[in-house]
Amino acid sequence: MMIREMEEKDIVKAAEVSREAFSDAYERFTKGYYPEVAYEHFLEEHRPENYRTFLRDPERFSFVAEEGGEIVGVALGRVFGRSGLAILNWICVRPDRQGRGIGTSLLEHVIRYCRSLGCHKLTLYTLPVLRPAVGLYLKMGFFPEAYLRREWWEVDFLKMSKWL
């Protein structure tokens, strides 16, 4: 498996993997917790044209995990200039490839990348019901910095951060 920067040629497949992973997580963990309107809104965020815009933004980072010549994972985020703060907006692994260390490798790559840019903090938002994701973040040294009650879509979120 290889982690590398997303390229223009990867956009369609990366968006497809993200939509598949997002739909799977919704069905397995968040359905009944996360409103369907929110699910549909964020599913739309993972369209190729949005990824293309993301890829062209110099403050954004985007990585793919590639295995056997196909994209099996995606990580997207932003470094806020020279402020030292980075945010992981999205990380996913294709459902049939989960549990094999791909998410860990992607997250390790993001952490190294942010450190290389002089970031002192990497933060993210997640749903508390996404137990596998929360477990990964805790394992990787993220700390639950805030519990945000009824934050977005009137749903509770966790803000987790790792000081680099």
Name every residue whose Cβ is closer than 8 Å to that of residue 98 and which is 6 or more positions away in sequence. 132
Task: Taking residues 11-28, report their average pLDDT.
Answer: 97
pLDDT tens for 116-128 read 999 999 999 999 9
> Which pLDDT score, from 0 to 100, does residue 81 have?
85
> Which pLDDT score, from 0 to 100, does residue 69 have?
94
pLDDT tens for 27-45 read 999 999 989 999 999 999 9
75 and 110 Cβ atoms separated by less than 8 Å: yes
pLDDT tens for 71-106 read 999 999 999 988 999 999 999 999 999 999 999 999
Task: Taking residues 112-118, report their average pLDDT.
Answer: 97
All structural domains of the chain, each given as residue ranges with its CATH number in brackets, are 2-163 (3.40.630.30)
